[in-house]
Amino acid sequence: MHPIYRRLCCLLSALCLWGICSRAGAQIMVWKAGQQEPRTPATETKTDPVRVLSIYSQPESEPNLKYRFYESAVLRQSGSSSDLLGRARLVNLQIPNAEQLNKQYAQFAEQWSEGPVEELLTSGAVEYLESYEQVLKLVHAATRLSRVEPIPTVEFEGEELELNAEEFGPIQDYRHFARLLVLQARVALAEGRLDDALDSIGSGFRLAEICELQQPALVSKLVALAIVGLMHISLEELVQHPDCPNLYWALASVPDSFWSCSIALDGELAYQDKKLGSLMRPVPLDASREEIVQRLVQTITIMPVVFDAGSNLDRTTAQLLAGIAILLFADNGREELREFGYSPQQIAQLSPPAVVILSTQLSFSQARDRVFKWALLENQSDRIEKELSAPFQSVRIAARPTQILNGMLLPAIQALQSAVLRSEMTHKRLMFVEALRAHAAFHNELPQTMSDLDVLPAPLNPQTSKPFQYDRLAPNRARIVNLPTYSADRQTETNVNLRSR
């Protein structure tokens, strides 16, 4: 190919890819010469840098397991959670004044979620929840059932009705259900019904698990962690109530699987292989050039949706990019196939489109495998970035479709790792606060050091696998410090004030 023509193709390819990323709101990361890791722009946070929790001493509940935020399947009722949540979705859709309710929530969302709980009783929150009474009953009932499975239809009022079939439709509705549970918990707190508030929070934890299990994928796990985050915010408010029972064992009942990525990653592999079937299916030896080109066009069309980076590309743009990919990547593709053990004779029999499809299929599967294996472990963001950034050190290797695919996958993996760490750290810190409340119930003051803490053990900080940093400032004041959980995280300090009744 003439050098000028090759440069023109490279420029056109860059412009097209820039358009994809710009429309999708993606983040473009550029490596400078000699730079080993990607430069990640800092993001602003509006959270206060210091949390302040005003707590009251409280011994363990009697019986100790009176409160649980999670129960194993053997303690739940038999039945399908998915079925009841499907009914809840349908009932929610049939609420007659849904549009007005949505406007009301938008108007009062900040006040209802962050304002003084006493104001909830006079701001319309109670009446708002009454409109969703049947939905909430179904959600609570669903979280008490043992099975979770995706289902295409539900029986509703004597009819078999098909649920909304769009990608990941249910999990988006679960965000709404989680907000209802949080508001229900706050209203119960305002009315002094602490056990009811705890029941709503427990349902929220189970809803998060169902969200992940029903449609395992990266986006499902991120939504599940967001739901858990809402429950943690509610708990931080609840534990500051003078009559709140000690929730150490309720928090301890939540299993470590809530912070495991394995199910989400397995689901993501299955989802990608299914949606990218045009790329991942074996290339038939007798496939015509036109058939293979169409497979490449179909792959490029669906890529933004598969990697949660926007909507499908229009066919004209996809055809243009397919042509550019064949021109740019066929030569490198032949080199890749040699690296994968294909003989020169086998490669010579393949058309340029087949070379691009086959080499991308093999290299993407291999690269994805290297990334996902590290994502199974905790706190491995650096290793994941290293796997993805290493190929960019070579100009020859960087000019491959696999790097485009991995570049689209990286933000979701990074977001998942950060969200998992932040969620687990918050959960274990809440357990630590409950251990402090139990200690104060026996000693009428906070422990001087971690070694003085008795009654209940302090959990380890998942960031360091060591105890949280703890500093007693006074008999009734202490500070808990953790490391940042993301680059712009300023909220690493929690001040605990022990109050008298």
> What confidence score (pLDDT) does residue 22 get?
37
> What confidence score (pLDDT) does residue 490 get?
78
**Beta-bridge partner residues of 499:** 56
Q: What is the average pLDDT score of the chain?
A: 83
φ/ψ of residue 238, rounded to 5: -65, -40
Give residue limits of the domains in the chain: 68-244
Give the separation between CA 490 and CA 44, rounded to whole angstroms: 10
Give the separation between CA 162 and CA 169, rounded to whole angstroms: 12
> What confidence score (pLDDT) does residue 172 get?
79
For range 408-413, the mean pLDDT: 80
Identify whether 63 is preceded by a cis peptide bond (ω within 30 of 0): yes
Q: How many CA atoms lie within 13 A of 341 on its CB side?
A: 1
Give the separation between CA 425 and CA 120, rounded to whole angstroms: 30
Q: Which of 116-130, 273-287, 416-430, 467-481 has the lowest mean pLDDT?
A: 273-287
Residue of higher predicted confidence among 326 and 439:
439
Element holding 267 (H helix, E strand): helix 262-275
Task: Tell me the pTM.
Answer: 0.84
> What confidence score (pLDDT) does residue 309 get?
64
Q: Which tens digit of pLDDT belongs to each residue from 176-222? A: 999 999 999 999 999 999 999 999 999 999 999 999 998 888 989 99
Helical segments of 25-161, H only: 81-93, 98-114, 125-131, 133-143
3-state secondary structure of 116: coil
3-state secondary structure of 480: strand
Give the separation between CA 379 and CA 49, rounded to whole angstroms: 23
Measured in whole angstroms, the distance separating CA 26 from the mean position of its chain's CA atoms is 17
Band the pLDDT of 324: cuts 50, 70, 90.
Answer: confident
Element holding 280 (H helix, E strand): helix 277-280
Does residue 40 surpass a pLDDT of 80? no
Band the pLDDT of 402: cuts 50, 70, 90.
Answer: confident
Residue of higher predicted confidence among 304 and 393:
304
Q: Which of 60-74, 286-300, 307-321 has the lowest mean pLDDT?
A: 307-321
Band the pLDDT of 168: cuts 50, 70, 90.
Answer: low
Q: Which tens digit of pLDDT belongs to each residue from 246-259? A: 999 999 999 999 99
Give the separation between CA 171 and CA 66, rounded to whole angstroms: 30
Give the separation between CA 357 and CA 292, rounded to whole angstroms: 8
Does residue 169 surpass a pLDDT of 70? no
Which DSSP category does 245 fall into? P
Q: Which residue do the tokens 């993501």 mark?
A: 268
Structure tokens, 13: 């390819």
Does residue 394 surpass a pLDDT of 80? no
Q: What residues contact 74, with CB distance under 8 A and at least 6 apart?
A: 146
Band the pLDDT of 470: cuts 50, 70, 90.
Answer: very high
Give the separation between CA 133 and CA 284, rounded to whole angstroms: 56
Structure tokens, 368: 């994805």
Helical segments of 191-260, H only: 194-214, 218-238, 248-252
Does residue 11 surpass a pLDDT of 50? no
